[in-house]
Amino acid sequence: MNLAPTEEQKLLIESVERFVEKDYPFEQRRELAASELGYSADHWATFAELGWLAIPFPEDQGGLGGSITDSCLIAEQLGRGLVVEPYLWTVILGGHLLSRSGRGDLVEQIATGVLQTAFGFAEPTSRYNLASVETSAADSGGWRLNGHKAVVFNAPAADTIIVTARTAGDPRDEEGISLFLVDPKDPGVTLRDYPTVDGLRAAEVILEDATGELLGDAGAAYPLVEETIDRGIAVVCAEAAGIMHTTLQMTREYTAQRKQFGVPLSKFQVLQHRMADMFNLTEQSISLSWVAAVKAESEDSLERARACSAAKVFIGKAGRQVGQESIQMHGGMGMTEEMPISHYFKRLTLIDTLFGNRDHHQRRYSDLLDDKRFAA
Amino acid sequence: MNLAPTEEQKLLIESVERFVEKDYPFEQRRELAASELGYSADHWATFAELGWLAIPFPEDQGGLGGSITDSCLIAEQLGRGLVVEPYLWTVILGGHLLSRSGRGDLVEQIATGVLQTAFGFAEPTSRYNLASVETSAADSGGWRLNGHKAVVFNAPAADTIIVTARTAGDPRDEEGISLFLVDPKDPGVTLRDYPTVDGLRAAEVILEDATGELLGDAGAAYPLVEETIDRGIAVVCAEAAGIMHTTLQMTREYTAQRKQFGVPLSKFQVLQHRMADMFNLTEQSISLSWVAAVKAESEDSLERARACSAAKVFIGKAGRQVGQESIQMHGGMGMTEEMPISHYFKRLTLIDTLFGNRDHHQRRYSDLLDDKRFAA
Amino acid sequence: MNLQESPELQSFREEVRAFLADNLPPDIKQKMEMGQSLKKDDYQRWMKILAGRGWLAAGWPEEHGGPGWTPAQRYIYDEEYGRHSCPRVLPFGVTMVGPVIIAFGNEEQKAEYLPKIANSDVWWCQGYSEPGAGSDLASLKTKAVKENGHYIVNGQKTWTTMAQYADWIFCLVRTSDEGKPQEGISFLLIDMKTPGITVKPIVTMDGGQEVNEVFLDDVKVPVENCIGDENKGWTIAKYLLGHERTGIAEVGKSRRQLQRVKDIAAAETIDGMPLIEDTAFRGKIAEVEIELLALDATILRMVSAEGAGKPPGPEASLLKIKGVELQQAITELLLEAIGNYGSPYIREAMDHGWNEPPIGPEYAAPVAPHYFNWRKSSIYGGSNEVQRSIIAKMVLGL
Amino acid sequence: MNLQESPELQSFREEVRAFLADNLPPDIKQKMEMGQSLKKDDYQRWMKILAGRGWLAAGWPEEHGGPGWTPAQRYIYDEEYGRHSCPRVLPFGVTMVGPVIIAFGNEEQKAEYLPKIANSDVWWCQGYSEPGAGSDLASLKTKAVKENGHYIVNGQKTWTTMAQYADWIFCLVRTSDEGKPQEGISFLLIDMKTPGITVKPIVTMDGGQEVNEVFLDDVKVPVENCIGDENKGWTIAKYLLGHERTGIAEVGKSRRQLQRVKDIAAAETIDGMPLIEDTAFRGKIAEVEIELLALDATILRMVSAEGAGKPPGPEASLLKIKGVELQQAITELLLEAIGNYGSPYIREAMDHGWNEPPIGPEYAAPVAPHYFNWRKSSIYGGSNEVQRSIIAKMVLGL
């Protein structure tokens, strides 16, 4: 029982930290976010070289046999630098779906940095319900898909897109959901690309008689989808914890150098106490994201769900307060596109809506209150 | 359209203010709360003399034909002095039920100060649902009542107790509820008296084949019960607004005289800003209680319900924050029975649970969102 | 105490309602309802329409071109105005420099400037903030030196909203370094066409370009353009902070925005039912709505007191704090309501006339940028921190 | 990083669990579960039982009579302890004066006092606060003047918890007026039987009489009773504030109390269904429970760091703030849960052995008084304001 990084994990943390500090100045992040691709292919190759992309996969699939906890510790450091590279989408979501579906061939390509993936799990009216799938797949000597997958992150850069589609059942049934690989260049697949408010890339993916390659067993994908999204939640919570850390840091530094009425802002007691609250929220977010990381690979799906939803609720709330306070204390300067703080704020804000917001996960968590195994 | 006291109302306010300031020092309140009766019969006679008890009743029932707004303005001032006399229970609840039921004879006795009443509307498992009535009444040549009315304020001093009882329908039906007068000295009536945490008196009223005198039509009392409790809400909101006013005043004064680290507490920016929040909450509570007062006698029951529930929600929340902050800023002193502030805090806390707490009224209010006539 | 409107007020309300409904150009109305960006021309057209009716300078006395309304009329006007999807009346002329000229200007200045404001002939902007000054206004550094009947002004202003469109700017400048920092400040009116003025946009985090830096480089300003006495500008600055406070909460606009939350929540689905039927979300709407009622009641109380001759004091800081907090809470509810579609960001999608189909529902595009943009409201115009300190000191005497 | 307990820790947990379950006297357990008042004897009996097992001084090293546990063992012990309905171990001896004597006492003092604390032979109380001092501890006025091998102590202490039962009191006293206020303070141990000591109860707003004023009137204290150097008491006071912080949040107790909320909410009805099925109330329980998880995770992180040799620093102020906020939030949930029955107040109903039937449900009587009483927790032991300032200054360097 030890909620602290191992010696090996410390080395990993240091290597990501070094990358962010030396190779990822904020100006570069700004340029990458505005570039055609939306991230740096060179950096991605570096991630592959350093083994970061291979970590969570089993060795027989070309991975390093690491844990999701390792990935979370990477994500926490990437969050500190507000890194835009598609680690979450390709490695954590796509990689896990492929790995669990026995597609070691593709996992190996992810690990070596040559394959980008995206996961379309949401639809225009699904909101945060993963079982709300209206996209349909029919087998007529090969699967054909029809439907609309909404806000698919990293789809513009993806070599292959994984989507949920219904092969049986009613709109919100957990049974009858299947996973398919679709090729973005397939004539039945239309992508409408766009940037997102937090500097990433996504697309609406429209499927019109698109060719799909079934992943795993037909109709039985829901548990894997939920598990994958829970892992995504652990990773994005770690990213958020890293963002909060830097946000507090920036606020401390700004208020210490900025004077008002002849005194640095950091000497105003009101701001001191509010920064103390930011500190408390940030530290607890880090702690809880670590617990979620460890439990994200629990074999007990209830324990996993509980820990991930709890972290998402807490970090959604903490991120809101830490983000808003940081802008308020930066005053007018915090409102500008020029200051990095505003970008940290935007990402932190949008993380709450990713994979289900605070309300969604508070409901999911409290629904688990009934379970006998549950005790605070 | 004028949300300000009229000249007449100003005189009324001044007379109550004068009474509280001159004749109601806090030490007396403490003694009265601890006395056998729990309030002062002399003060009650004074209230009658000054006409305060007659104000909201029609002239043909011995009243002064005033409004519930007048009563609210009285209650706000009484709240400032944390007055324990049973104005709310006898005049606002009992008086209104009797007045609307055509019992001018009893109303006149209330107006002259010779009759005390209590209203038993709650039961052990009813929580805040006024229609949740399990006490039953059967007519066998005279009504006989059986049941348990919970936490009936002023019952220990009441000459007559008004209760809800079911004469038809299922436990939570609005139809089938009737009002009865019962005599506390009736052998079928058992009172278990007790003081309350906020310095008042109440009783559990157990009815075992108790004789009841029907008030109004059998089975049709629910609208009057709801209207009466809404008026009670307006009055208790006004009382709470008055309490908050004094609470803030005391906190200002205490922090101004109490030094810490060589400086008066009131000079600490953190406390200044928190007192500014207390001010904002207090002022808005006063404003909203005035609106509730005016709308409490609206003929449109939806408008009435909306305004009273809104006020109860806001004042429940504001009272919680203002109360807790006042204790925190008084430090250890605020924790003592000796300091008046702790008594203001206790009353403010309990007002939230009276007639339905914040959650209850937020639900009631949001259920009204559907109504076509509703617009913010 | 009563909430009944007199027949006169009722018919006044009808008159306002009818005028606004009949005269708001449909294209502007549509932009407002979709939350799209307004252009210079949109503001100008609408303000001219109001000016034509004599209602642009709504808070002014009749003698200077205002309607001369009572506080109660003004309250009703604000309420109705907020209920309709009208563009805001830009405050720089009508509620800022205009009242200053009325209170402190000489007869020539009044005759020169006031009619052009009331008629919307001139676009004003505000030159208060400076880099590094923030809430500490008195630390301003822009210098004005008197030379042969002119001031020569040098310095830099910032956060100047819509300076790119402005014909004139009113500035606080330093005319003396003696005494306390508050003592050497003067209030100048400057023609934006004067040589030496450069405007540079500041891009805000929502991608907007509404605010600017204004550089003043040896700008020649006639001495007649000084309002009030030289070195007495601080009195004017304080006057301005205290003026027109009951309108500051923008309750009417918040009501309209909350209605938008309800409309969107009725259109969005959660587990197959409308979001507005979800207990948690309904509860949040109810919470904000109740707070809005409390704020509105407080305004009405102040308006009633004002009608009885008691001008609003520093208590009005309450209105700024709560008004802004509720506006911000509503931008959060909007963002929550649209779920996954808070993410897409296509700048042009916020412009009227963008021809492509929307990403997700049509109402989604401006929501997140608006949330980001509106964080400014608790910072500018006297930050919420400054307002709390005003209450603590001026009202509570702490 | 892992959350698996080693087999050793698992069996340790079993051992703790079994001991607590088997040895807590049933009458004390019942009082705890009903929230009734504990008497002096209840505390003493229970602390003697723990002492008998060697677990009373849970944080002490073995050489002084403690179990010498690792931080992880201590964490598990605290967790299990909180899970059972055990009375709290009074901190004055075991976690306050004991560690001070261990750190600053001489050999004679250690031999004299420590065994009696570890065995629960002596009841201690704390003489820190004074009237008018509050969080500003250094402004204390109680004076100790040295005379013929004794200090003569005069002054007044306040908020002294359970002084009426105490055998000894440890006091901060002023032994010099020179230098900064922090510099002339000494730490004295005083036998409560010494002539000149008067204890007067303070009634708190919940009706309780747990705290007291302690008057010291020419009280003779042998100079050997000074811990550490004369005039160096401030160092000790600071040490005490920083000691034993990970236990301060009382997460285990909050968990148990939250379980009580759930039990009561399962028993209470709302519109015919159990309150716990009400969406709003469930949501509140979930919210507190999630915050408790976050706090617990933070403690575990600190414990893990401590196990690796990094002692808890001023970050531990976080634990005090959040621990207390959650305890208070739970007292509010309890009050909400019981609805109308928050009002009745019969002092005796909170005592064990009260023979009359309860007013309303049996669990209701102590709820409101407990809520009132627990407001103190954000005031004493370094108020939440002081803790925030510690974080701001010591952790964030503001």
- For chain B, the three-class secondary structure string (H helix, E strand, C coil) is CECCCCHHHHHHHHHHHHHHHHHCCHHHHHHHHHCCCCCCHHHHHHHHHCCCCCCCCCHHHCCCCCCHHHHHHHHHHHHHCCCCCCHHHHHHHHHHHHHHCCCHHHHHHHHCCCCCEEEECCCCCCCCCCCCCCCEEEECCCEEEEEEEEEEECHHHCCEEEEEEECCCCCCCCCCEEEEEECCCCCCEEEEEEEECCCCEEEEEEEEEEEEEEECCCCECHHHHHHHHHHHHHHHHHHHHHHHHHHHHHHHHHHHHCEECCEEHHHCHHHHHHHHHHHHHHHHHHHHHHHHHHHCCCCCHHHHHHHHHHHHHHHHHHHHHHHHHHHHHHHHHHHECCCHHHHHHHHHHHHHHCCCCHHHHHHHHHHHHHCCCCCC
Nearest CA in chain C to D281: C280
Residue type present at position C241: L
- The answer to whether position C216 is within a domain reads yes
Strands A189-195 and D185-191, how do they pair? unpaired
The pLDDT value given to residue D90: 94
Local confidence band at A371 (pLDDT 50, 70, 90 cut-offs): low
What's the CATH number where B183 sits?
A: 2.40.110.10
Listed residues B116, B131, B166: the one ending a domain: B116
DSSP 8-state code for residue C393: I
- What CA dihedral angle connects B301, B302, B304 and B309, to 10 degrees? 130
- The answer to whether position A253 is within a domain reads yes
- End-to-end CA, chain D: 32
Quote the minimal CA–CA distance from D300 to chain A in Å.
6
Listed residues B59, B93, B116: the one ending a domain: B116
CA atoms within 13 A on the CB side of C6: 8
Q: Do residue A42 and residue A143 come from a single domain? A: no
- The answer to whether position D106 is within a domain reads no
Q: Do residue D206 and residue D255 come from a single domain? A: no
Mean pLDDT in chain B?
96
Residue whose entry in the numeric block shows the structure tokens 């009696």 = D116
- The answer to whether position C113 is within a domain reads no
What's the CATH number where C214 sits?
A: 2.40.110.10
Q: Do residue A112 and residue A128 come from a single domain? A: no
The pLDDT value given to residue C197: 98
Q: Do residue D256 and residue D382 come from a single domain? A: yes
Q: Do residue C257 and residue C353 come from a single domain? A: yes
The pLDDT value given to residue C35: 84
Average the pLDDT over D130-157 and give the result: 91
Residue D246 has pLDDT above 90, yes or no: no
D247 vs B211: CA distance, rounded Å: 59
Residue A375 has pLDDT above 80, yes or no: no
| Bridge partners of residue D125, in order along the sequence | D169
Q: Do residue A270 and residue A360 come from a single domain? A: yes
Long-range CB contacts (within 8 A, 24+) of D10-13: D12/D73, D12/D76, D13/D76, D13/D80
The pLDDT value given to residue C242: 66
- Nearest CA among A80, A98, A87, A104 for reference residue A46: A87
CB D376 within 8 A of CB B332: yes
A97 vs A107: CA distance, rounded Å: 9
The pLDDT value given to residue A181: 98
Mean pLDDT in chain D?
93
For the segment A65-110, what is each residue's pLDDT rounded down to a tens digit?
999 999 999 999 999 999 999 999 999 999 999 999 999 999 999 9
Q: Kindly report the length of chain C.
A: 398
Q: Do residue A235 and residue A335 come from a single domain? A: yes
The pLDDT value given to residue B375: 43
The pLDDT value given to residue B159: 98
Local confidence band at D354 (pLDDT 50, 70, 90 cut-offs): confident
Quote the minimal CA–CA distance from C242 to chain B in Å.
17
Residue A374 has pLDDT above 60, yes or no: no
The pLDDT value given to residue B191: 98
DSSP characters for A274-286? HHHHHHHHHHHHH
The pLDDT value given to residue B372: 45
The pLDDT value given to residue B233: 98
Nearest CA in chain B to D283: B359
Q: Do residue B317 and residue B285 come from a single domain? A: yes
DSSP characters for A82-150? T--S-IIIIIIIIHHHHHHTT-HHHHHHHHTT---EEEE---TTTTT-TT----EEEESSSEEEEEEEE
A335 and C280: CB-CB below 8 Å? no
Residue C2 has pLDDT above 50, yes or no: yes
Residue B143 has pLDDT above 50, yes or no: yes
- Which residues contact residue D356 at a Cβ distance below 8 angstroms, ignoring those fewer than 6 apart? D349
Residue B296 has pLDDT above 70, yes or no: yes
C74 vs C68: CA distance, rounded Å: 9
Q: Do residue B252 and residue B359 come from a single domain? A: yes
B316 vs B313: CA distance, rounded Å: 5
Local confidence band at C307 (pLDDT 50, 70, 90 cut-offs): confident
Q: Do residue D179 and residue D66 come from a single domain? A: no
Whole-number percent of chain B with pLDDT over 70: 98
Average the pLDDT over C225-250 and give the result: 84
CA distances from C221 to C174, C225, D297 (A): 14, 7, 64
What's the CATH number where B231 sits?
A: 1.20.140.10
**Contacts with D280 from chain C: Cβ below 8 Å:** 279, 283
- The answer to whether position B288 is within a domain reads yes
Neighbouring subunits of D (3+ Cβ pairs under 8 A): A, B, C
**Contacts with C279 from chain D: Cβ below 8 Å:** 279-280
Neighbouring subunits of C (3+ Cβ pairs under 8 A): A, B, D
- For residue A223, the surrounding DSSP H or E stretch is helix A222-257
Neighbouring subunits of A (3+ Cβ pairs under 8 A): B, C, D
Q: Do residue C131 and residue C50 come from a single domain? A: no
- The answer to whether position B261 is within a domain reads yes
Q: Do residue B54 and residue B140 come from a single domain? A: no
Handedness of CA A82, A85, A91, A94 (dihedral sign): positive
Higher pLDDT, C307 or A158: A158
The pLDDT value given to residue B373: 40
- The answer to whether position A2 is within a domain reads no
Q: Do residue D18 and residue D148 come from a single domain? A: no
DSSP characters for C187-215? EEEEETTSTTEEEEEE-BTTS---EEEEE
Listed residues A152, A187, A220: the one ending a domain: A220
For D96, the 3-state DSSP assignment is helix
What's the CATH number where C293 sits?
A: 1.20.140.10
Q: Do residue A47 and residue A101 come from a single domain? A: yes
Strands D211-222 and D197-202, how do they pair? antiparallel
Q: Does D283 reach chain C within 8 Å, measured CB to CB? A: yes
Q: Which domain holds residue D357?
A: 249-394
Output phi, psi for A291, to 5 deg. Answer: -60, -45
CB B55 within 8 A of CB B96: no
Local confidence band at B376 (pLDDT 50, 70, 90 cut-offs): very low
What's the CATH number where D51 sits?
A: 1.10.540.10
B312 vs B288: CA distance, rounded Å: 9
**Contacts with A269 from chain B: Cβ below 8 Å:** 268-270
Average the pLDDT over C231-237 and give the result: 93
Local confidence band at B176 (pLDDT 50, 70, 90 cut-offs): very high
Q: Do residue D385 and residue D284 come from a single domain? A: yes
Residue C138 has pLDDT above 90, yes or no: no
The pLDDT value given to residue D242: 66
- What CA dihedral angle connects C97, C101, C105 and C108, to 10 degrees? 100
Residue C155 has pLDDT above 50, yes or no: yes
- The answer to whether position D226 is within a domain reads yes
Listed residues D67, D89, D111: the one ending a domain: D89
CB A357 within 8 A of CB C270: no
For the segment B6-18, what is each residue's pLDDT rounded down to a tens digit?
999 999 999 999 9
Residue C105 has pLDDT above 60, yes or no: yes
| Bridge partners of residue A136, in order along the sequence | A146, A166
Output phi, psi for D67, to 5 deg. Answer: -80, -15
- Nearest CA among D160, D209, D151 for reference residue D185: D151
Q: Is the ipTM of this complex over 0.90?
A: yes
CB C42 within 8 A of CB C28: yes
Interface test with chain A among C340, C372, C373, by most A beta carbons within 10 Å: C340
**Contacts with B269 from chain A: Cβ below 8 Å:** 268-270
Q: Which domain holds residue B354?
A: 223-374
Q: Do residue A243 and residue A324 come from a single domain? A: yes
The pLDDT value given to residue C172: 95
Residue A325 has pLDDT above 70, yes or no: yes
For D247, the 3-state DSSP assignment is coil
**Contacts with B273 from chain C: Cβ below 8 Å:** 385, 388-389, 392
- The answer to whether position A345 is within a domain reads yes
- Nearest CA among B245, B251, B247 for reference residue B330: B251
C111 vs C102: CA distance, rounded Å: 10
Q: Do residue B263 and residue B339 come from a single domain? A: yes
- The answer to whether position A189 is within a domain reads yes
- The answer to whether position B2 is within a domain reads no
Average the pLDDT over C349-373 and give the result: 90
The pLDDT value given to residue A348: 98
Q: Do residue C297 and residue C383 come from a single domain? A: yes
The pLDDT value given to residue C308: 86
Average the pLDDT over B355-375 and give the result: 81
A1 class by beta-carbon count within 10 Å (0-12 exposed, 13-18 middle, 19+ buried): middle
- The answer to whether position D167 is within a domain reads yes
Q: Does A171 reach chain C within 8 Å, measured CB to CB? A: yes
The pLDDT value given to residue A301: 94
For the segment A173-197, what is each residue's pLDDT rounded down to a tens digit?
999 999 999 999 999 999 999 999 9
Interface test with chain D among B154, B196, B197, B351, by most D beta carbons within 10 Å: B197
Q: Do residue B216 and residue B227 come from a single domain? A: no
Q: Do residue B258 and residue B213 come from a single domain? A: no
Residue whose entry in the numeric block shows the structure tokens 């299990």 = D80
Residue A370 has pLDDT above 80, yes or no: no
For the segment C30-74, what is each residue's pLDDT rounded down to a tens digit?
999 888 889 999 999 999 999 999 999 999 999 999 999 999 999
What's the CATH number where A110 sits?
A: 1.10.540.10
Q: Exposure pattern of B74-84 as b/e (b: 16+ CB <10 Å)?
A: bbbbbbbbbbb
Residue type present at position D78: D
Number of domains in chain D: 3
Mean pLDDT in chain C?
93
Number of domains in chain B: 3
**Contacts with C283 from chain D: Cβ below 8 Å:** 280
- The answer to whether position A1 is within a domain reads no
